[in-house]
Structure 1
Amino acid sequence: MTDRSDAADPTDETPSIAPESLAERLRSGDELTVLDVRDRDEFERWHLEGEAVTAVQIPHMKFIQAEATGGADELAADLAEPILAVCGRGEASAHAVSLLREAGIDARNLAGGMDAWADLYVARELETDAPATVVQYDRPSSGCLAYAIYSDGEAAVIDPLRAFTDRYVDDAEDRNAPIRYAIDTHVHADHVSGVRTLAERTDAEAVVPEGATDRGLAFDATTIGDAAELRSASPASHARQDGDELRVGDATLTAVATPGHTTESLSYRLEDLLFTGDTLFLEGVGRPDLERGDDGAAHAARRLYETLQGRLLELPDDAIIAPGHYSDAAEPWDNGAFVARMGALRDRVGALSLDEAEFVERVTSDLPPRPANHERIVAANLGLEDVDGETAFELELGPNNCAVAD
C-alpha cells in the first residue's frame, strides 16, 4: 500500500492508500481485508468487492466505544492483515485506523473514502489499426467503460457517463479535438448517460439507436442516414440502422445492430475494434432481462444468441472486442486495458459455444440482482425523468450487474 502524509488535512496524517493505488492492488489480486465502518444499510447498498477482497462491516460507533475501553484490537481480532478501512469520505475510517495502529495492527485508510473511490476515472490508450487515437476510460468502482476516439482534430465519445462530462470535455480540449459525437450503444440501466450533457456543453451531436424511440425516448431526436445528415441534425440524433456511418476526422465508426441485451442495442466498428456496449464482455454476455423483465427474457436471449452467432462470431480472431463493462473476473491486457481478441473470447466465454436451447437456459437462469435503481436510471436516460447531478451520482453507485458471467 502507498502511504500519504499531508499536514493540510488531518486525515492525511493517517497512513493511507490512494484510490489509484487501490485499483492497482485489486487488479493484482493481492489479498486484502476491507473494514467498512459505515452503517449497515450503506454497506449493503454498495461496498468494495473483489476476488481477493474480504469485506467486513463494523460501524464507527464501535470504534468510538473502543477508544474509551482500549478494545480496538478486539474488534479486529478475527480480521486478516493488512486491513484497509473505508467510510464515506475517509474521516471516520481514519479514526478507526489510528486506533488499530495503536494496537499494533497493520491498517491503512482509503484516502477520500468511498466518494473518492467512486470519482476515480482511469484513462488508457488502446492499440488499433484505425487512423485514430482510442482512449478507454475505466471507472474501477463500478467496472463501467467508456471510449473516446480522436482523429484529425475531431473526437467522439462512446457510452459516456454523466458524472465525468467535465473529464471528456477537458481531455478533448487538451488534444485540440472538439467532440463531434456523443454516442450511446443502448439505453443504459446501470449508469446515467452523459450523452445529453455532452451535447449541451459542446457542439457535439447526441447519437442513440433508433430503437430508443420505441422505448419512450422523450427528448428531441432526428432519424438520420449518413454523416452528412448527422452534421445538420437537431441536438439529439439517431444512428438509424445497421451500417450507418459516423465520420470522425479520418476515422469511420460503423453501426452494427446487436440486439439481445436490449432491443435497440448497437455496437460500433472502428477498423479492427468493435465497441460492443453490453452485448459481449470479456467474461460473459449481456443479461437479457433488464428491458422487459423475466417475462421477456427468453425472447431477448434468443435474439442475443442470433446476434452472437450471426454477427460477432463471424469476426476474425484478431478483432479486438472493447466492452462497456468488466467484472472482477476479467483479465486486462498488460497495459491494464479491458479488451480482448475475438479468438481468445471464443475459447474463454463458454456461452459462445452453446446451442440455442442451452444458451437460453444459461443466460436466463441464476441471474445476479438487477442493477440498483435500474428503472429510474433507464427513465433518466430516456429523458422521462429529470435528475440533478447529485441524484444521478447516487443512483448509479454500486456494481453494474449487466452481464451474465461464465
Structure 2
Amino acid sequence: MSGSITTDDLATRIDDAARAPYILDVRSSDAYDQWRIEGKVPLDIANIPYWTVLGEMESVLGTLPKHREVIVVCAHGGSSGMVVETIDQKNVHNLQGGMDAWANTLVPRTLWDDGSSFVVQFDRVAKGCLSYAVGSRGASMAVIDAGASLEPYLALAEEMNTTITDAFDTHLHADHVSLGRQVAAHTGATYRIASGDAETARFDFAPLIDGERFEYGDLDVVVRSVATPGHTPGSTSLEVAGRFLMTGDAVFVSGIGRPDLGGQTEPWAKDLFATIHETLAALDHGLEVCPAHYTSRAESRDDGTLHRSLGDLLTNDPIVSMTDEAAFVAYVVDHLGTPPSQYDDIRKVNLGHLQPDPEMLKELEVGRNECALSK
C-alpha cells in the first residue's frame, strides 16, 4: 500500500526530531554528494541508487525501519515512485516531484502580524534562501528578494486582500535566479533594485535611492532603503516598520556576504567593513536582521524563522565584530573559497544578458547557496 508526500509537507517536518521521517535517496552518489535534503536536526538518511534497491531488494528492505515513515527521493519523482511501488509497504512513501520540486518549495512563516500589517518570511529550504512580503491587509504589499515560485507570494496577497505594488531585490543575486521582475510583470508592480548593481541591465527598473521611503497601507508599515555596499556595490538593506532590517547578503544571522563575486575582493571587503561599522552600527540596534540567505537550518529559531538582533550581531558575531579593517580584509581574503562556477551565469540571467531554457535554469539552481563567509 504505497503512497506519496508533498514537498510542502516534508518541509514542515524535517526540523522536528519527533516528526522527521527516514529518507531513502535513490539518486546516484554524485548527485547525492552535490545536494541532499537537510534539516535543523540531523536526518536519518541513506543513499542507495535505485538500481541497487531494485536489484538487491531483500537486503535493502532489511536496512529500512519497520515502524517509521520512509520517504523515497529521486531527481523527479519517477524512479522513487517505482521503488515505492515495488516495496509496497504502507510506511514507505514517494516524494512527489523529487528534488526538482524540493528545489522550489517555499515555506511561509510570520515574523509579525498586528491584525492589520504583516511581515512574512519565505524559506526556500532546499537552497537556504529567504524572501519576504510586507504590507497591510486590504491595501498594498511589497515582495523582497523573490525566488523559486510566484505562487506563494500571489497566494499571500490574495489571503491578505492586498495588491502587490513593489518587488525589491536587495542586490544582484548570484546564487539563484531572481523572480522580482516576474512578480512585477505578473502583478503590475514596480521592480526596484539599486543602479549600482543593475547598470548594465537589459530591462527597465526603478533605481533604489538611499533613504527612499515606501508605504504600504497603514503608516506602521514603512520601508526605508539603506545603502549597504560590500557584498555588491549596490547592496541595499530595507528597514521595515522600525522593527526589521532586510539586509540581503550584506550580513547574515551568522557571518557576512562574500565580497568576491565581482572579482574585486579587497575593495569590496573594505566597503563591507565600512557598511558594518559606519552604516549598520548607526542604526537602531534593536532592529531584527533578516537576511536573504542562511548557511544551515541550525541557525533558525524554535518557530523556524531566521533573524537576529542587530546589536547582538554587531557585538558577538566573530567576523562582524572585528574592528580592525586590515585584519577584517585579510581574514576575508584568506578564507574565501572559489565561488560556484554557475554564479557568473546566474548574474547574467538576473541582468537580462542570458535567457536560459528550462533545463539550463534547473541546472543553474542546483545546490545550496554559498554566499556566506562565517567563522
> What range describes the TM-score normalised by the shorter chain of this pair?
0.7 to 0.9
* 1:287 counterpart residue number: 258
Q: How much does 1:238 deviate?
A: 0.8
More helix by share: 1
* 1:154 counterpart residue number: 140
* Contact 1:155-1:181 at 8 Å conserved across structures: yes
Give the 3 Å change call, closer, same or farther, for CA 73–52 of structure 1 in structure 2: same
* 1:326 counterpart residue number: 294
CA distance in 2, matches of 1:213, 1:111: 37
Aligned partner letter, 1:272: R
TM-score, normalised with respect to structure 1: 0.80
Give the 3 Å change call, closer, same or farther, for CA 263–115 of structure 1 in structure 2: same
TM-score, normalised with respect to structure 2: 0.86
Give the 3 Å change call, closer, same or farther, for CA 176–129 of structure 1 in structure 2: closer
355-364 vs 175-184, greater mean Cα deviation: 355-364
* Contact 1:371-1:402 at 8 Å conserved across structures: no
Aligned partner letter, 1:142: K
CA distance in 2, matches of 1:368, 1:110: 33
Partner SS state of residue 190, structure 1: coil
The answer to whether the aligner puts 1:61 opposite 2:46 as a matched pair is: no
* 2:356 counterpart residue number: 387
Partner SS state of residue 351, structure 1: coil
Aligned partner letter, 1:126: L
Provide the alpha-carbon RMSD of the alignment. 3.1
The answer to whether the aligner puts 1:376 opposite 2:366 as a matched pair is: no
Q: Which runs of 5+ in 2 are unaligned?
A: none
The answer to whether the aligner puts 1:116 opposite 2:101 as a matched pair is: yes
CA distance in 1, matches of 2:330, 2:86: 51
Q: How much does 1:73 deviate?
A: 5.0
CA distance in 2, matches of 1:21, 1:347: 37
* Contact 1:146-1:324 at 8 Å conserved across structures: yes
* Contact 1:37-1:86 at 8 Å conserved across structures: yes
CA distance in 2, matches of 1:114, 1:213: 32
Number of residues of Structure 1 aligned to a counterpart in Structure 2: 366
Q: Report 1:237-256 matches (<5 A).
A: 237-240=206-209, 242-249=210-217, 250=219, 251-256=221-226
- Of residues 37, 43, 54 in structure 2, which corresponds to 1:48? 37
Give the 3 Å change call, closer, same or farther, for CA 356–48 of structure 1 in structure 2: same
Aligned partner letter, 1:14: S
* 2:229 counterpart residue number: 259
Partner SS state of residue 350, structure 2: helix
Aligned partner letter, 1:217: A
* 1:315 counterpart residue number: 283
The answer to whether the aligner puts 1:38 opposite 2:27 as a matched pair is: yes
CA distance in 1, matches of 2:173, 2:289: 19
CA distance in 2, matches of 1:86, 1:348: 39
Give the 3 Å change call, closer, same or farther, for CA 262–116 of structure 1 in structure 2: same
CA distance in 2, matches of 1:202, 1:97: 40
- Of residues 152, 156, 176 in structure 2, which corresponds to 1:191? 176
320-329 vs 261-270, greater mean Cα deviation: 320-329
* 1:210 counterpart residue number: 195
* Contact 2:190-2:206 at 8 Å conserved across structures: yes
* Contact 1:43-1:57 at 8 Å conserved across structures: yes
- Of residues 52, 76, 79 in structure 2, which corresponds to 1:92? 79
* 1:3 counterpart residue number: none
252-261 vs 128-137, greater mean Cα deviation: 128-137
315-324 vs 373-382, greater mean Cα deviation: 315-324
Task: Give CA-to-partner distance per residue, 1:47-67, whole Å, 9 cap, x none.
Answer: 224562465533211122214
* Contact 2:11-2:107 at 8 Å conserved across structures: no
Q: How much does 1:177 deviate?
A: 1.4
Partner SS state of residue 206, structure 1: strand
CA distance in 1, matches of 2:251, 2:114: 21
Q: How much does 1:146 deviate?
A: 0.7
- Of residues 120, 127, 130 in structure 1, which corresponds to 2:112? 127
Partner SS state of residue 165, structure 2: strand
Q: How much does 1:21 deviate?
A: 4.6
Aligned partner letter, 2:261: L
Q: Which runs of 5+ in 1 are unaligned?
A: 1-12, 221-235
Give the 3 Å change call, closer, same or farther, for CA 29–331 of structure 1 in structure 2: farther
Percent of residue pairs identical: 36
CA distance in 2, matches of 1:111, 1:40: 21
Partner SS state of residue 299, structure 1: helix
Aligned partner letter, 2:10: L
Q: How much does 1:313 deviate?
A: 2.6
CA distance in 1, matches of 2:232, 2:134: 24
Give the 3 Å change call, closer, same or farther, for CA 351–130 of structure 1 in structure 2: farther
Give the 3 Å change call, closer, same or farther, for CA 388–171 of structure 1 in structure 2: farther
